[in-house]
């Protein structure tokens, strides 16, 4: 395992391996998302209270999950960068950030669209989960901006890693906000003691969308990592030639 990770630190080796891995995720992601869309739109019955608007869940909930998952991955990679100094950790974290920000923005937008018919408002500042999710988006944007603001890649990587670890405190707040405070959001209905509380007719297509989002993220993440490795290698060669 350690030998494999050591080889993966080599830019040419990482570039070739990422190029071989990425194509295995593209078509499966498309298939899973299209299958989940067909299932959710045409096979799932309307909810007895929410009607057809309940189907917004199949976009909103997995997007919110992915925003949290991707940030957790960034925090883990940042810890690996600071502790183990593995060069690919910074590449992994930096490449994942725009994707996580996109999922989080999608979760906020679809949540507002779903909240209008259900709560009578697009936004409620008193809802802890809404506010903590918005803070997560700001952390993502700050992380991306920090990478672009510092010219020295090593200094940028260290500063971004520290920010990522500090920002990770928002993750448990998002998850437990519905238990710690009285908010518009309902309590956890899937990951909870005793198992999921929603009907299987909603649970299975929801899980399929979540899987499709995950595979889509992996595909785009590998492509972005490969591009980042190429850019860093090209920058190093240009600096060496200039010297």
- pLDDT value of position 215: 94
pLDDT at 1: 45
pLDDT confidence tier of residue 101, bands split at 50, 70 and 90: very high
Is 216's pLDDT higher than 90? yes
pLDDT at residue 194, rounded to an integer:
66
φ, ψ of residue 241 to 5 degrees: the values are -70, -40
Q: What is the mean pLDDT of the chain?
A: 84
Per-residue pLDDT reduced to its tens digit, 29-79: 999 989 988 888 888 887 777 777 778 888 989 999 999 999 999 999 999
- With a cut of 70, say whether residue 9 has pLDDT above it: no
Is 192's pLDDT higher than 70? no
**Closest-CA residue to 15 (of 222, 218, 216):** 222
pLDDT confidence tier of residue 13, bands split at 50, 70 and 90:
low
Q: Give 98 or 195, the one with higher predicted confidence.
A: 98
Q: Is the pLDDT of residue 233 over 80?
A: no
pLDDT over 70 at 89, yes or no = yes
User: Helix or strand or coil: residue 122?
Assistant: coil
Q: Is 46 exposed, middle or buried (0-12, 13-18, 19+ CB in 10 A)?
A: exposed
The DSSP letter of residue 188 is P
Q: 226 vs 8, 31, 89, 151, 152, CA distance in Å? A: 12, 23, 13, 21, 20
| Selection from 27, 68, 58 nearest residue 202 by Cα | 58
Q: Is the pTM of this model over 0.85?
A: yes
For residue 23, what pLDDT band results from cuts at 50, 70 and 90?
confident
Q: DSSP characters for 71-98?
A: HHHHHHHHHHHHHH--HHHHHHHHHHHH
H-type alpha helices, 120-186? 128-149, 153-167, 170-180
Q: How confident is the model at residue 189 (pLDDT cuts 50, 70, 90)?
A: low
Q: What is the end-to-end Cα distance of the chain in Å, rounded?
A: 36
Q: Which residues contact 19 (CB under 8 A, 6 or more apart)?
A: 226
Query: Which residues, in sequence order, are CB contacts of 63 under 8 Å at separation 6+?
Result: 103, 104, 106, 107, 110, 213
For residue 23, what is the enclosing H or E element? Answer: helix 23-38
125-157 residue pLDDT tens: 878 889 999 999 999 999 999 999 988 888 988
* DSSP-based helix, strand, coil % in the chain, nearest 5: 80, 0, 20
Segment 157-183, tens digit of pLDDT: 899 999 999 999 999 998 888 777 777
The pLDDT score that the predictor gives to residue 109 is 94
Length of the chain equals 243
Query: Where does the pLDDT of residue 8 fall: very low under 50, low under 70, confident under 90, or very high at 90 and above?
Result: low
Structure tokens at 55: 């189907």
More confident site: 32 or 11: 32
How does DSSP classify residue 42?
I
């Amino acid at each position: 395992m350690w030998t494999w990770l050591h080889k993966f630190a080599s830019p040419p080796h990482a570039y070739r391996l990422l190029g071989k891995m990425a194509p295995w995720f593209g078509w499966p992601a498309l298939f899973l998302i299209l299958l989940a869309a067909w299932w959710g739109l045409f096979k799932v019955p309307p909810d007895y209270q929410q009607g057809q608007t309940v189907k917004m869940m199949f976009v909103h909930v997995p997007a919110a999950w992915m925003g949290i998952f991707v940030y957790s991955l960034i925090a883990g990679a940042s810890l690996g960068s600071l502790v183990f100094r593995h060069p690919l950790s910074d590449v992994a974290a930096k490449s994942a950030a725009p994707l996580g920000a996109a999922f989080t923005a999608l979760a906020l937008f679809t949540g507002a669209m779903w909240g209008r018919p259900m709560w009578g408002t697009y936004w409620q500042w008193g809802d802890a989960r809404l506010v903590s999710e918005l803070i997560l988006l700001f952390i993502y944007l700050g992380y991306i901006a920090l990478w672009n603001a510092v010219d020295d890649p090593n200094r940028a990587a260290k500063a971004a890693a520290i920010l990522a670890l500090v920002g990770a405190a928002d993750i448990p707040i998002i998850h437990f906000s519905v238990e710690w405070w009285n908010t518009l959001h309902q309590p956890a209905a899937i990951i909870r003691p005793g198992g999921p509380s929603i009907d299987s007719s909603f649970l299975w297509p929801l899980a399929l969308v979540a899987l499709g989002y995950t595979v889509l993220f992996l595909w785009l993440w590998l492509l972005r990592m490969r591009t980042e490795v190429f850019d860093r290698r090209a920058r190093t060669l240009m600096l060496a030639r200039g010297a």
